[in-house]
Amino acid sequence: MTPDEVLRAIPQQAPFRFIDRILEVDSEHIVGSYTFRHDEFFYRGHFPGDPVTPGAILIETMAQTGVVALGIYLAAQTLPAGELSHWVTLFTECEMEFHLPVAPGERVTLRGEKVFFRRMKLKSRVELLLADGRVAAEGTLAGVGVKRGS
């Protein structure tokens, strides 16, 4: 699959889609990006007058790139043609460290590196970098592909 095909296959949609572009993807890693718009729904309450991106949203952003998108790419290599659309990724594990806040308007780069992929479970080492290259968050995330209706 091409990066654009992977991006189109991601099931999350606005207002809960936190990946704009896939810059690189192969069987070992993925690089994506997202710009946090000033009008994102969560900024109104987190925190009024001085908003920052919630940690849970940062985890979701990293998961959409490092687990969902990379998982789609890897699953497409193993599933029969036409089967990919019948699968969804469920989040299973998280170990995360936060280093810097992410402000509204910030463009972030997301990097995921496969730790393992077997039996439709993907574990990835992920990081979220600010536009200046500093690491805002990093850790390990995992998810498992589940056939819809199972």
Give the total number of structural domains in the chain: 1
Question: Taking a C-beta distance cutoff of 8 angstroms, is the pair 87, 139 a contact?
Answer: no
Question: Taking a C-beta distance cutoff of 8 angstroms, is the pair 70, 113 a contact?
Answer: no
Output the domain CATH number for residue 69: 3.10.129.10
Which residue range(s) make up the domain with 136? Answer: 3-147
Provide the annotated active-site residues. Answer: 46
Band of pLDDT at residue 81, cut at 50, 70 and 90: confident
pLDDT digits (tens, 9 = 90+) for 30-66: 999 999 999 999 999 999 999 999 999 999 999 999 9
pTM equals 0.95
